Amino acid sequence: MRNLRTVIIAALVIALSSLGLGAASAAGSAAKPCTGTSGTAASATRAAAQPVTVWLAGDWTMADPGSARCPVGWGSQFDALFNADVTVRNRAVGGRSIQTWLYEGNVSSTKGSDGECRLTSTAYSARWQAMLNAGTGMKAGDYLFIQFGINDSSSTCPRHVGPARYRQLMTTMVQAALARGAHPVLLTPVAALTCSGGTATKNRGFVNETFAVGSSTRAPVVDLQSLSVSLYNSLRFCPHNGDYGSGPVGAFFCNDHTHFETYGAQRIAGLVAGDVRRQNLPLAGSLR
């Protein structure tokens, strides 16, 4: 009887040991998908950190400075607000309307029957062709910031652009970005400093047109005109005696109440970045 009891106990120990090994093996197998999931998450994180180019199209208020101290466009200060994953390529050019920026050299000085400046050729400017280049231009995940509407209000050609033509050209740019997987962002034109007593006021056109294109294409709009006027009021730039070369106003603007010194360009760039963050655009994740 004692021997039989010993044999039964031994058999039970062996059986229990086998079950333990099976459980451990099953646990190990169950752990493998977790490892795979972690790898997938890591891959997603790496993908999210892929380099992004932010392309800028606009006029002097956005452009890089020339040899003179002033003007300095806000686009020249934009890159410093992002981490190393983002590169800003500023293609803004002083004095351009949206049409002369797109069709440099091909906009005549005469208007057609529709009231728009005639094009001598529909060939795009070299700067826009370069941005459209499949190999070196806008790629999936990039951004295109578009800000015009200052020079476009000219009554004379070649800079004159009417509201309908403005919407058409801005829509063309938005659709080109979308076709390449890039993200267009529209901006209303930044305000100059004009005062009504102690209050800075809005003074740019093409605001409604910009919002209309944003609505029809679902592109986000940064209302830089409203943001800049609010900033001028917070800095108490008004009332103003007309001297744009000294004091706080002189440190912000060139001597024309329109274009910016470096400090002013930095503050305007900060407004744009702040609205990117406020709207929770994916690009906000790369802001410093």
Q: What is the pLDDT of residue 241?
A: 87
Q: What is the pLDDT of residue 278?
A: 98
d(CA 288, CA 286): 6
- Per residue in 154-201, pLDDT (tens digit) is 999 999 999 999 999 999 999 999 999 999 999 999 999 999 999 999
Task: State the average pLDDT over residues 203-220.
Answer: 98
d(CA 40, CA 35): 9
Task: State the average pLDDT over residues 196-217.
Answer: 98
Please list, in sequence order, all residues whose beta carbon lies within 8 angstroms of the beta carbon of residue 104, skipping any fewer than 6 positions away.
96, 125, 126, 127
Please list, in sequence order, all residues whose beta carbon lies within 8 angstroms of the beta carbon of residue 22, skipping any fewer than 6 positions away.
none
With a cut of 70, say whether residue 44 has pLDDT above it: no
Over the chain, what is the mean pLDDT?
A: 88
133 pLDDT band, cuts 50/70/90, is: very high
Pairing of strands 195-196, 107-111: unpaired
Task: State the average pLDDT over residues 21-45.
Answer: 39
Q: CA 14, 20, 25, 26 torsion: positive or negative?
A: positive
Exposure class string for 180-204: b at 16+ Cβ within 10 A, else e: bebbbbbbbbbbbbbbeeeebeeeb
CA distances from 28 to 14, 23, 40 (A): 21, 9, 19
d(CA 179, CA 16): 64
DSSP 73-130: -GGGGTGGGB-TTEEEEE---TT--HHHHHSTT-EEEEE-TTSSEEES--PPPHHHHH
With a cut of 90, say whether residue 2 has pLDDT above it: no
Task: State the average pLDDT over residues 146-155.
Answer: 98
Residue predicted with more confidence, 216 or 43? 216
41 pLDDT band, cuts 50/70/90, is: very low
Q: What is the pLDDT of residue 49?
A: 63
Angle made by CA atoms 191, 149, 213, in degrees to the nearest 5? 115
CATH superfamily of 52-286: SGNH hydrolase (3.40.50.1110)
What's 246's DSSP letter? S
CB 183 within 8 A of CB 144: yes
d(CA 92, CA 75): 8
Q: Structure pTM? A: 0.83
With a cut of 90, say whether residue 227 has pLDDT above it: yes
With a cut of 80, say whether residue 267 has pLDDT above it: yes
Q: Could you tell me which of 213, 192, 214 has the C-alpha nearest to residue 201?
A: 192
CA atoms within 13 A of residue 86's CA, in its CB half-sphere: 23
Parse the chain into domains and list their residue ranges: 52-286
Q: What are residue 183's DSSP bridge partners?
A: 143
Q: What are residue 57's DSSP bridge partners?
A: 146
Q: What percent of the chain has pLDDT over 70?
A: 83
d(CA 185, CA 75): 14
For the chain, helix (H) and strand (E) counts, in that order, are: 8, 9
CB 148 within 8 A of CB 189: yes
With a cut of 80, say whether residue 284 has pLDDT above it: yes
